[in-house]
């Protein structure tokens, strides 16, 4: 078993190291990417150089923080669309499926389920969020923490949209206040009418949990593997432990997202699906903009995000935390011409000796090293039988070509 898992991990490692260099060449300064819901997102292309992003860009971020301009910037962003069409979620047949009466998805961006007798509108309080950056569409589903009566719909959404990564942004004490939607004990199963969910493994790290779940369609007899990542340490303001801790977590989520397929939607939820969920998506998108040398302001990205779901990043301190994270990312650690934020650091990390690793000058290098170890630790959670028979996945230059268990 161990040899097979090493092969799988080494294949992942090799795919990062041999990833092709991508550069952006455009005949115009601006590119507009239009999502399926006709919401546009503009990014400004600027020339490739050795120091990207420029010092002036980082100085601008720091300046807005120091002179409190970030508060005015945040307050100037509309919290929702001018014409908010969300009548679907306010229908009497659907209103009781909302956790909060003031957080309702827009009609045109809401996630639509196959209608059933119990749910004739196919309604769930969840919203599609899609951004195009460097010819890649980053797809998210932002949703609320499921209610007891919507857990079955939640898992229908996971299966119907082929979701392989779920991000939970809640502390353990917050989960206890609600109804958990997955089994907390290994090998214990949670059943709905159509699906059976099982906890295969759980690893408790200092500030987050990494779980492997399986979802089995009881009618089609199809089983899929799902990575469930929960960031669990939040302060009284519902902010993460620290910036580096959260960047490490985003890195880990991103690596699993790429492993299962970049085009698949990633489900992200907190309680209402707007505050911490919006903070996670905003920060992830800004990292992609920096990585691919797409100059776009934090305010502009958030403005477009709120076209998909109302009240994203609903508190000022969430917005400020995103700024602090971006400032923490050092320009010299982001060689954008060599790919994404994770992949760019992998090659020189592997060349570190244990001595050099211990005396690393940049803490972000340690974050990347730790992320590699966590990914490797994920594979032993699979059963021996699953690990021995692998399925080869090769979905293009920007995907991993790695051996994964057949359950995926």
| Tens digit of pLDDT at every position of the chain (408 positions) | 433 333 333 433 333 333 222 223 322 222 222 333 435 554 543 333 334 445 677 788 889 999 999 999 999 999 999 888 999 999 999 999 999 999 999 999 999 999 999 999 999 999 999 999 988 899 999 999 999 999 999 999 999 999 999 999 999 888 877 778 999 998 789 999 999 999 999 999 999 999 999 999 999 989 999 999 999 999 999 999 899 999 999 999 999 999 999 889 999 999 999 999 999 999 999 999 888 878 789 999 999 999 999 999 999 999 999 999 999 885 544 443 344 444 434 433 444 434 444 444 444 555 555 666 665 555 444 333 333 333 222 222 232 222 223 333
Strand partners, 137: 132
Neighbouring residues of 7: CB distance < 8 A, sequence distance ≥ 6: 403
Q: How many CA atoms lie within 13 A of 239 on its CB side?
A: 16
Neighbouring residues of 366: CB distance < 8 A, sequence distance ≥ 6: 357, 360
Domains of the chain (ranges plus CATH)?
31-334 (3.90.190.10)
The CB density around residue 216, as the number of other CB atoms within 10 Å, is 19
Residue 100: C-alpha distances to residues 105, 110, 231 (Å):
11, 16, 22
Q: CA–CA separation, 116 vs 129, rounded Å?
A: 25
- Four-residue CA torsion sign, 179, 181, 183, 189: positive
DSSP sequence for 342-376: THHHHHHHHT--HHHHHT-S-HHHHHHHHHHHHHH
DSSP sequence for 138-160: EEEEEEPPPPGGGHHHHHHHHHH
Q: What is the pTM of this model?
A: 0.75
Q: CA–CA separation, 312 vs 324, rounded Å?
A: 18
């Amino acid at each position: 078993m161990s040899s097979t898992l090493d092969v799988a991990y080494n294949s992942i490692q090799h795919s990062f190291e041999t990833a092709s260099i991508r550069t952006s060449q455009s005949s115009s300064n601006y590119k507009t990417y239009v999502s399926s819901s006709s919401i546009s997102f503009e990014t400004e292309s600027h020339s490739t150089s050795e120091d990207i992003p420029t010092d002036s860009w980082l100085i601008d971020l720091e300046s807005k923080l120091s002179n409190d301009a970030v508060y005015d910037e945040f307050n100037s962003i509309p919290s929702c669309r001018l014409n908010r069409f969300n009548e679907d979620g306010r229908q009497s047949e659907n209103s009781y499926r909302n956790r909060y009466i003031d957080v309702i998805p827009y009609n045109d961006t809401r996630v639509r389920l196959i209608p059933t007798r119990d749910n004739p509108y196919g309604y769930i309080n969840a919203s599609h969020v899609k951004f195009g950056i460097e010819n890649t569409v980053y797809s998210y589903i932002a949703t609320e923490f499921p209610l007891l009566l919507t857990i079955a719909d939640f898992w229908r959404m996971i299966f119907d949209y082929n979701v392989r990564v779920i991000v939970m942004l809640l502390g353990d004490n917050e989960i206890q206040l609600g109804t958990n939607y997955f089994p907390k004990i290994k090998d214990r199963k949670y059943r709905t009418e159509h699906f059976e969910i099982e906890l295969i493994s759980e690893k408790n790290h200092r500030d987050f949990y990494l779980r492997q779940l399986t979802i089995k369609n009881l009618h089609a007899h199809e089983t899929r593997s799902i990575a469930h990542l929960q960031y669990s340490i939040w302060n009284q303001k519902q902010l993460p432990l620290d910036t580096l801790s959260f960047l490490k977590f985003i890195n880990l989520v991103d690596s699993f997202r790429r492993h299962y397929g970049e085009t698949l939607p990633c489900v992200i939820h907190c309680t209402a699906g707007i505050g911490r969920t919006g903070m996670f998506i905003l920060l992830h998108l800004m990292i992609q903009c920096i990585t691919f040398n797409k100059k776009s302001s934090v305010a502009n990205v958030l403005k477009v995000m709120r076209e998909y779901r109302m009240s994203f990043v609903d508190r000022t301190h969430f917005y400020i935390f995103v700024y602090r994270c971006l400032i923490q990312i050092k320009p010299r650690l982001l060689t954008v011409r060599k790919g994404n934020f994770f992949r760019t650091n992998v090659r020189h990390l592997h060349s570190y000796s244990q001595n050099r690793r211990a005396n690393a000058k940049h803490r972000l290098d340690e974050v990347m090293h730790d992320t590699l170890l966590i990914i490797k630790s994920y594979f032993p959670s699979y059963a021996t039988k699953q690990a021995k028979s692998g399925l080869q996945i090769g979905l293009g230059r920007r995907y991993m070509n790695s051996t994964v268990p057949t359950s995926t």
